[in-house]
């Protein structure tokens, strides 16, 4: 006789229950979905570490604790504000490169002497905000309180909050110019005061980090006393600790033990200084009041004029220290003092298996790290090569479309007049641009050739490689390579392409060229091409398009008075999407009429702002560019039949063949010279900076 079995609870599959996923994890957490079923990795590179985790945490301390829970290693990187605006532009390029390695966060030091809370390109706040908003690095801002009023600190923190910064490293700060420290009975005397103040004024909004001193603070009465001070900082509300530099793993591990013994339970991250040069080492040692161990001095002194040798030694030494720290089993994260340089930190991180060189893209475009945009999952394709500009122009949006573009008709795009904002600037000089784009333009064909050289990699007629165009400051994307041969031919004939993507029909989401998102998915693209071309071409194109109803098009002139399309103004067209396990379809890139009209101003504007202005005001070269700006059309084409190949090139070949009036297709400088009655460009702005 069988008995009726009562079923009150799960039997024998409790571990499967753990497969349940947490809330608020869309979309970037998807990356961890597959690994969570196969156990936790405790070694080496954790893909998407800095930008994606499951669940998605926006608070830095949560991210750190998650790594601890998952027993995953990570690294972070420290920078200081550069002295010049050009330096700031270069530092941003470095941020972009560091991002590829997958750091958990970066931090930016506070330069009390350099108006750190100001608006200049070199202020601590600007650099930190740029790293966060435009480079996609989660960013912590240093803040020192010595000799500051509460009002000033409050204002600085409010501004930081407005900019999206959610983490602060609270420091006392040194007395200026080596003065003795004086007690301030009405203000901030210790970092503890600052921690308390931040908690009191801003509650839990900020994650607060404080500094630990493995060698003891230079002003501390004793090592033990210093640990007690640290305990006070934590008790006042600090979330975690980053240590000052040290020269031996044992120094840190002893300090760590002392902290734990004193009841400090928050994460303690060792600060690692890769020695990169003799003078920087001496300077840092002076600032920190530390003694460099004799065995290090013995190595460095003889090679003090050979920076590369010192750097290699520094890489070797730091790698060794970090390995010891990891081997102790008590360290997961490492904080690198980069000194704003890339190589040493990158090499150490690579040696340790922390550098994720082949980072799986979470989305086909680079997300910002600003927590207000954590749910942003769709962008118009137009800004594909100008993501910083897109972030800048949408910085005031209250919310970001979640799951679909939907509300593209409501939020207005910010004005694109600030072509010279440092974080939107090219890091090329005017001289470099002239070399690449032509010292003198004599006809439109000269312009066509710049475009085709950029795509082909062949030198221009001055023998210079064209590594950028006004619409694209970077090398061409790997996926553009798939189209490159066709694009070069088109550009030579005056179809000046600025954005493109090939059709993709269900390739693996891990594909190194077109893949994005978590593994196990399938990605798709509709073929897309955006270009400037002449009126003749445009008219011929319209005729050809009659035979291709599967193609959506937008055609617009620089004023917007001509605006021809065959798609619904309020209906975005998904051009990139992905299908992933356990999720809705993700459609992160769209073509839509409304944002195209905003993009049009920017795209046309770049002809004048970035290109025309490198030439003298009345020069023929400038006239050529202005003529293109004034008479060309900006056109985009979407081939909706993505499983069936790409008809866009076929269409454009037909257009070139069928041009109504081929003799007018190229407009030469001779014609321009004769046209004295031509209305000159009225733009009176100065030259490119």
299 binds its own copies (CB under 8 A): no
Query: Looking at beta carbons only, is 76 or 537 nearer to its own copies?
Result: 537
5 binds its own copies (CB under 8 A): yes
User: Which pair of structure tokens corresponds to residue 44?
Assistant: 């080496």
25 binds its own copies (CB under 8 A): yes
Please give the residues from 64 up to 93 whose contact with its own copies meets the rule CB under 8 A. none
Find the shortest distance in angstroms from Cβ 594 to its own copies: 12
Among 522, 605, 619, 653, binds its own copies (CB under 8 A): 522
CA atoms within 13 A on the CB side of 172: 20
Q: Are the C-beta atoms of 447 and 474 separated by less than 8 Å?
A: no
Q: What angle (nearest 5°) sits at the alpha carbon of residue 61, between those of residues 373 and 115? A: 70
Q: Which stretch binds its own copies (CB under 8 A): 88-96, 149-157, 488-496, 675-683?
A: 675-683
CA atoms within 13 A on the CB side of 236: 23
Q: At what angle do helices 85-101 and 343-351 cross, to 10 degrees?
A: 10
Query: Looking at beta carbons only, is 16 or 287 nearer to its own copies?
Result: 16
178 binds its own copies (CB under 8 A): no
399 binds its own copies (CB under 8 A): no
596 binds its own copies (CB under 8 A): no
CA distance 99 to 103: 6
Find the shortest distance in angstroms from Cβ 587 to its own copies: 5
1 binds its own copies (CB under 8 A): yes
618 binds its own copies (CB under 8 A): no
The site string for its own copies over 465-504 (x = CB under 8 A, - otherwise) reads: ----------------------------------------
587 binds its own copies (CB under 8 A): yes
Find the shortest distance in angstroms from Cβ 40 to its own copies: 15
β strands within 268-388, DSSP E: 268-269, 271-272, 333-337, 379-380
| Distance from the Cα of residue 381 to its chain's centroid | 17
428 binds its own copies (CB under 8 A): no
415 binds its own copies (CB under 8 A): no
Backbone angles phi, psi at 457, to 5 degrees: 85, 0
Among 118, 459, 506, 616, binds its own copies (CB under 8 A): 506
| Distance from the Cα of residue 11 to its chain's centroid | 47
**Of these residues, 6, 43, 78, 201, which one is catalytic?**
78
666 binds its own copies (CB under 8 A): no
Among 159, 350, 404, 435, binds its own copies (CB under 8 A): 404
185 binds its own copies (CB under 8 A): no
Peptide bond into 55 cis (omega under 30): yes
Find the shortest distance in angstroms from Cβ 578 to its own copies: 10
Q: Which stretch binds its own copies (CB under 8 A): 57-65, 232-240, 537-545, 596-604?
A: 537-545
Among 440, 671, 687, 689, binds its own copies (CB under 8 A): 671
Find the shortest distance in angstroms from Cβ 535 to its own copies: 6
Among 365, 400, 532, 580, binds its own copies (CB under 8 A): 580
Among 41, 280, 631, 653, binds its own copies (CB under 8 A): 631
Whole-angstrom CA distances from 46 to 14, 166, 299, 511, 597 are: 27, 23, 34, 18, 40
682 binds its own copies (CB under 8 A): no
Backbone angles phi, psi at 676, to 5 degrees: -65, -25
Q: Are the C-beta atoms of 333 and 76 separated by less than 8 Å?
A: yes
CA dihedral 249, 250, 252, 256 (to 10 degrees): 130
Find the shortest distance in angstroms from Cβ 19 to its own copies: 4
3-state secondary structure 202-255: HCCCCEEEEEECCCCCCCCCCHHHHHHHHHHHHHCCCCEEEECCCCCHHHHHHH
Q: Which stretch binds its own copies (CB under 8 A): 172-180, 236-244, 398-406, 461-469?
A: 398-406
Query: Looking at beta carbons only, is 17 or 261 nearer to its own copies?
Result: 17
175 binds its own copies (CB under 8 A): no
662 binds its own copies (CB under 8 A): no
* Closest to 335 measured CA to CA, from 658, 493, 109, 130: 109
R_g of the chain, CA atoms, integer Å: 28
Q: Which stretch binds its own copies (CB under 8 A): 39-47, 71-79, 386-394, 540-548?
A: 540-548
The helix/strand/coil state of 623 is: helix
CA distance 467 to 93: 15
Size of the site for its own copies (CB under 8 A): 80
19 binds its own copies (CB under 8 A): yes
Find the shortest distance in angstroms from Cβ 514 to its own copies: 15
CA distance 603 to 629: 10
Q: Are the C-beta atoms of 213 and 220 separated by less than 8 Å?
A: yes
Residue 324 is a catalytic residue: no
Find the shortest distance in angstroms from Cβ 409 to its own copies: 9
End-to-end alpha-carbon separation of the chain, Å? 92
410 binds its own copies (CB under 8 A): no
* Beta-bridge partner residues of 504: 525
Q: What is the DSSP string of 185-206?
A: TTS--SHHHHHHHHHHHHTTSS
Catalytic annotation, residues: 78
């Amino acid at each position: 006789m069988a008995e009726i079995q009562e079923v009150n609870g799960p039997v024998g599959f409790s571990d499967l229950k753990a497969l349940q996923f947490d809330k608020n994890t869309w979309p970037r957490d998807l990356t961890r979905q597959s690994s969570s079923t196969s156990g936790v990795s405790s070694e080496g590179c954790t893909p998407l570490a800095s930008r994606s985790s499951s669940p998605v945490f926006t608070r830095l301390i949560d991210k750190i604790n998650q790594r601890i829970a998952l027993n995953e290693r990570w690294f972070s990187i420290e920078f200081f504000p550069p002295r010049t605006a050009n330096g700031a532009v270069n530092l941003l390029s470095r941020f972009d490169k560091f991002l590829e390695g997958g750091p958990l966060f970066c931090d930016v030091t506070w330069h009390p002497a350099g108006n750190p809370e100001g608006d200049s390109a070199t202020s601590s706040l600007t650099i930190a905000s740029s790293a966060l908003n435009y480079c996609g690095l989660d960013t912590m801002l240093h803040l020192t309180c010595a000799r500051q009023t509460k009002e000033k600190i409050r204002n600085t923190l409010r501004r930081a909050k407005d900019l999206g910064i959610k983490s602060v490293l609270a420091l006392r700060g040194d007395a200026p110019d080596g003065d003795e420290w004086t007690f301030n009975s009405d203000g901030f005397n210790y970092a503890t005061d600052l921690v308390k103040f931040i908690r009191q004024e801003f509650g839990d909004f900020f994650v607060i980090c404080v500094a630990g001193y493995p060698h003891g603070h230079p002003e501390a009465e004793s090592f033990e006393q210093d640990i007690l001070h640290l305990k006070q900082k934590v008790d006042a509300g600090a979330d975690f600790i980053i240590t000052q530099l040290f020269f031996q793993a044992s120094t840190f591990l002893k300090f760590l033990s002392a902290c734990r013994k004193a009841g400090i339970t928050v994460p303690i991250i060792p600060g690692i200084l890769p020695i990169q040069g003799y003078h920087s080492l001496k300077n840092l040692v002076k600032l920190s009041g530390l003694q460099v161990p004799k065995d290090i001095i013995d190595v460095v002194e003889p090679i003090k004029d050979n920076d590369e040798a010192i750097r290699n030694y520094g890489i070797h030494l730091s790698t060794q220290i970090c390995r010891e720290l990891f081997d102790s089993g008590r360290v997961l994260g490492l904080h690198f003092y980069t000194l704003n340089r890339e190589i040493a930190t990158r090499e150490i991180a690579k040696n340790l298996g922390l550098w994720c060189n082949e980072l799986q893209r979470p989305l086909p475009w680079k997300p910002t790290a600003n927590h207000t945009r954590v749910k942003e999952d769709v962008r118009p394709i137009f800004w594909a090569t100008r993501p910083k500009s897109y972030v800048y122009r949408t910085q005031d949006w209250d919310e970001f479309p979640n799951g679909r573009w939907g509300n593209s008709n409501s939020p207005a795009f910010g004005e694109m007049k600030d072509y010279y904002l440092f974080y939107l600037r090219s890091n090329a000089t005017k001289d470099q641009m002239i070399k690449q784009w032509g010292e003198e333009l004599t006809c439109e064909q000269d312009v066509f050739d710049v475009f085709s050289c950029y795509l082909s990699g062949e030198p221009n007629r001055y023998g210079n490689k064209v590594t950028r165009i006004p619409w694209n400051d970077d090398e061409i994307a790997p996926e553009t390579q798939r189209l490159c041969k066709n694009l070069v031919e088109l550009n030579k004939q005056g179809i000046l392409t600025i954005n493109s993507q090939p059709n993709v029909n269900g390739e693996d989401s891990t594909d190194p060229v077109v893949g994005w998102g978590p593994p196990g998915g399938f990605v798709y693209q509709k073929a897309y091409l955006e270009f400037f071309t002449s009126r003749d071409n445009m008219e011929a194109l319209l005729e050809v398009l009659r035979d291709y109803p599967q193609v959506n098009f937008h055609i617009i002139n620089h004023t917007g008075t001509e605006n021809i399309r065959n798609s619904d103004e309020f209906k975005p067209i998904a051009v990139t999407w992905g299908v992933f396990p356990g999720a809705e379809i993700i459609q992160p890139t769209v073509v839509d009429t409304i944002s195209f009209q905003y993009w049009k101003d920017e795209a046309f504007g770049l002809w004048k702002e970035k290109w025309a202005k490198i030439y003298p005001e009345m020069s023929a070269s400038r006239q050529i560019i202005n003529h293109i700006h004034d008479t060309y059309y900006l056109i985009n084409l979407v081939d909706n039949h993505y499983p069936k190949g790409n008809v866009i090139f076929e269409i454009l070949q037909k257009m070139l063949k069928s041009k109504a009036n081929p003799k007018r297709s190229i407009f030469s400088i001779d014609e321009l010279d004769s046209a004295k009655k031509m209305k000159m460009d009225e733009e009176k702005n100065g030259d490119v900076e």
